[in-house]
Amino acid sequence: MQNKLKVGIIGMGVGESHIEGFQRHSGCEVVALCDFSDDKFRMCNEKYPHMKITMNDDDILQDTEIDIVSIASYDNYHYEQIIKALGNEKHVFVEKPLCMYESEAIEIREQIKSNPDLKLSSNLILRQSPRFLYVKNLIEEETFGELYYLESDYNYGRINKITDGWRGKLNFYSVVYGGGVHVVDLLLWLTGETIVEVFSYGNNISTKNSRFKYNDFVVSILKFKSGIVGKTACNMGCAFPHFHTLAVYGTKATFVNGFDKGLLFESRTHNDKPTVITEEYPGVEKGDLLLNFVDSIINNKQLIVDVDDVFRTMSVCFAMEKSMNLSKAVKVTYL
């Protein structure tokens, strides 16, 4: 009991589901929760009376007893909380996005480099979706032949979260960092490839009469090093349920994701029926990466989303945002 790693979680929205995720690993225990809202503070005190409950994140970030900090605060707080946590020798699991600006990511990268024993990961959860794992396996078995085009859109389906919630109240919000990051990571992970250049356009037609002042839609063409072309759209204003589209085109097969099933086409004629892929989608809970995260600390297990993955994905997202603002192609600078 005494040797268990102690966990503190900041932000009790999606962060509440981190509790259950950590509880799956017998080598750690959640000892502290933080939320600066009165309602959540009250809820935590009632629901988790055996834990330390606080409204001040420093009570977790500076607590010398705590080994792991899980950050699920609003996006604009991630950077400062990560820097403080790493500075106080804590492992960090952070909700996406890692941070809001490239300069912040550079600083976090430097801090990690100077303390390589600390683990950092981010909740890029699509890597654990059974259906996408199945597709990755098909790619590795070369069922697709040679890949040449992949597309994946992040259809948010919850427009009110950007027009009425905290996202629209921030001084800056990027739908690329806040949502697109998931599908960028999906394409990088599926292909195991590098994206070298991006070209993005955006608009805010869906939310122009709301308080949300940023583009709610960003579409990007992605140029991979090998010649593969990709496309992602971060579509936060769509009249469509929450969904991650995915299409993978290779010389021998094509996969298209649907709600209940995916379809794998291995023929160019109408008469040949595609194979129906019934692996669950999304089939993941928000805390599903935490068992592996704790295992990486205790048993040095390979991280499902390691620190390089986090920076690789963020680097592409920074280039996408930059390209949209400059209206020209931008080469990806890997941090």
Per CB under 6 A, the list member of 23, 43, 74, 196 interacting with ligand NAD is 74
Per CB under 6 A, the list member of 7, 19, 28, 34 interacting with ligand NAD is 34
Tell me the chain's radius of gyration from C-alpha atoms.
Answer: 20
- Residue 37 in the binding site for ligand NAD (CB under 6 A): yes
Only segment of 66-74, 237-245, 246-254, 300-308 that touches ligand NAD (CB under 6 A)? 66-74
Q: Which residue is nearest to ligand NAD (CB)?
A: 13
Per CB under 6 A, the list member of 95, 151, 216, 288 interacting with ligand NAD is 95
Between 57 and 67, name the residue whose CB sits nearer to ligand NAD: 57
Answer for the pair 284, 125: CB distance below 8 angstroms, yes or no: yes
* 3-state DSSP percent of the chain in helix, strand and coil, to 5: 35, 25, 40
Measured distance CA(32)–CA(187) in Å, rounded: 35
Four-residue CA torsion sign, 122, 127, 130, 132:
positive
- Residue 14 in the binding site for ligand NAD (CB under 6 A): yes
Question: How remote is the C-alpha of 227 from its chain's centroid?
Answer: 25
What's the closest the beta carbon of residue 329 comes to ligand NAD, in angstroms?
A: 27
Per CB under 6 A, the list member of 48, 77, 101, 265 interacting with ligand NAD is 77
Residues 96-135 that bind ligand NAD (CB under 6 A): 96, 123, 125
DSSP 166: G
By CB atoms closer than 10 A (0-12, 13-18, 19+), residue 101 is middle
Helix H or strand E encompassing 221: strand 217-224
Only segment of 1-9, 70-78, 112-120, 294-302 that touches ligand NAD (CB under 6 A)? 70-78
Between 121 and 123, name the residue whose CB sits nearer to ligand NAD: 123
- Residue 48 in the binding site for ligand NAD (CB under 6 A): no
Measured distance CA(208)–CA(153) in Å, rounded: 21
Only segment of 9-17, 44-52, 148-156, 303-311 that touches ligand NAD (CB under 6 A)? 9-17
Strands 229-235, 254-257: pairing kind: unpaired
- Residue 63 in the binding site for ligand NAD (CB under 6 A): no
Per CB under 6 A, the list member of 7, 33, 68, 72 interacting with ligand NAD is 72
By CB atoms closer than 10 A (0-12, 13-18, 19+), residue 91 is buried
Nearest 5°: phi and psi at 29? -145, 140
Which residues contact ligand NAD (rule: CB under 6 A)? 10-14, 34-37, 40, 57, 72-75, 77, 95-96, 123, 125, 166, 178, 286
